[in-house]
Chain A
Amino acid sequence: MKTLYILNNPQLFEQCTLAMGTQDALLLIEDAVVLSEQQSSDENHFVLEEDLIARGLNSGSSWNKKNYNEFVALTLEYNKSVSWL
């Protein structure tokens, strides 16, 4: 069972990643996209491109960027999604 964790609150990064298993993935959205500038990336770490652009943060980050089309695809690729609120 692979789970996609969706995080929108940058303050909950540690809690959220602690709960994740090795098969799971993390997608940063909304205000949590700033974490892509602060935390090291991983092959299962993604960041929502539209929200990065909206905050002027689109350059430099080594995180794997996903647009909304790919966001929808991720929710189907993984068995379920958990929005960590």
Chain B
Amino acid sequence: MATFSLLVTANPHSSQGQFSAIQFAKTLLHQGHVIKRVFFYADGVLVASRLNCPPSDEYNLTKTWAKLAITHDFELTACVTVAMKRGIINATEADRNALTGENIDPAFEISGLGQLTEAMLESDRLVTFG
């Protein structure tokens, strides 16, 4: 059994990377491996918004990540700097910046790049999907 972390930089609305990352995650979990953390960076953080509303006949990436993370007990972490730049905000940052609301999906958290470094150090493998 190996421990994986994933780095996802792919834009959920215009590239295949998020789908590839989910398929990779599902496959490794099925094989009995574990995930420590999925770290979202660059346009990848756009998947963390709970306001993402794809049409009902399209795949909901946000809900798929959330369900997978809750079922298999791993963390979904979005980089704070790139998330805020793209309007992905949690309650703390909304407060600090005098914004009217937060929009992060409850299954995700916002944190710093240190969480990526820690995931790399504490996992056997890091695989990037961009």
Contacts and interface: CB of A to CB of B under 8 A. Distances in A.
A69 B27 contact: yes
The number of chain B residues touching the other chain, given as a range, is 20 to 34
A24 interface: no
Interface in A1-50: 6, 8, 29-31, 50
Contacts of A81: 125-128
Binding site secondary structure of chain B: mixed
A85 B130 contact: yes
A31 B130 CA distance: 12
A8 B15 CA distance: 10
Contacts of B27: 68-69, 71-72
A6 B130 CA distance: 10
B39 to A, nearest CB: 13
Nearest to B7: A83
Interface in B19-70: 20, 23-24, 27-28, 31, 33
A72 B31 contact: yes
A76 B2 CA distance: 8
A76 to B, nearest CB: 6
Nearest to A72: B28
Interface of A: 6, 8, 29-31, 50-51, 68-69, 71-72, 75-76, 80-83, 85
